[in-house]
A and B are shown apart, each in its own frame.
Chain A
Amino acid sequence: SQQGEEDPQALSIQEGENATMNCSYKTSINNLQWYRQNSGRGLVHLILIRSNEREKHSGRLRVTLDTSKKSSSLLITASRAADTASYFCATAGVQGGKLIFGQGTELSVKP
């Protein structure tokens, strides 16, 4: 069964606006990762946040993690049309090594 649930399922914004996507999960984790997928093929890793971290930045990306609420958010600032893609969170459990992905958020950035 899927570990992560993401919302919104779809998000449409104008270029220059910020985009926020949320991910919730059910069991304890070792870390949480965010990935991007263009055109329904291979995924690209964006950022990894460990269970003992609360916030992490990478360029225009900001990720937060709240282990008490079992949730994470991905913020993309000053969005660009090229950010249009599907974004997935993935969790690595404390016990096992497999990565479990959420259903994803489809982001559309309009020029």
Chain B
Amino acid sequence: GAGVSQSPSNKVTEKGKDVELRCDPISGHTALYWYRQSLGQGLEFLIYFQGNSAPDKSGLPSDRFSAERTGGSVSTLTIQRTQQEDSAVYLCASSPRGEGNTEAFFGQGTRLTVV
């Protein structure tokens, strides 16, 4: 079956603009994660959705960042008023059950460049 799909693959935006990044998880997966990875760095946790529970937003770096997950499926990460330091690869992952008990399946990421 299809894996985790992220769009767009690449996004170049001007400083100050808003951007939306999309993630289509594997069908039936209840858990969904967003991470950010700067060049040569590890994965920075942003937000975690698990079923109908309130999302864990503890990793969002500022109030310019928000995410939603509609119908327990597709998720959108929105960055408002983008800054150059927002440039990174944004990775989405899903897993069949929450609580980190199973492996996470990753998408190929969206490379965001803020100019």
Chain A contacts to B: CB under 8 angstroms: 2, 30-31, 33, 35, 40-45, 48, 88, 90-93, 96-104
Contact = CB atoms under 8 A, between A and B. Distances in A.
Nearest to B53: A97
A58 to B, nearest CB: 12
Interface of B: 4, 31, 33, 35, 37, 39, 41-45, 48, 50, 56, 59, 89, 91, 93, 98-109
Contact of A42 (B48, B56, B100, B108): B108
Contacts of A102: 42
Contacts of A48: 102-103
B45 A92 contact: no
B33 A98 contact: yes
Given A40-B89, A43-B91, A99 B100 contact: yes
Contact of A97 (B37, B59, B89, B98): B98
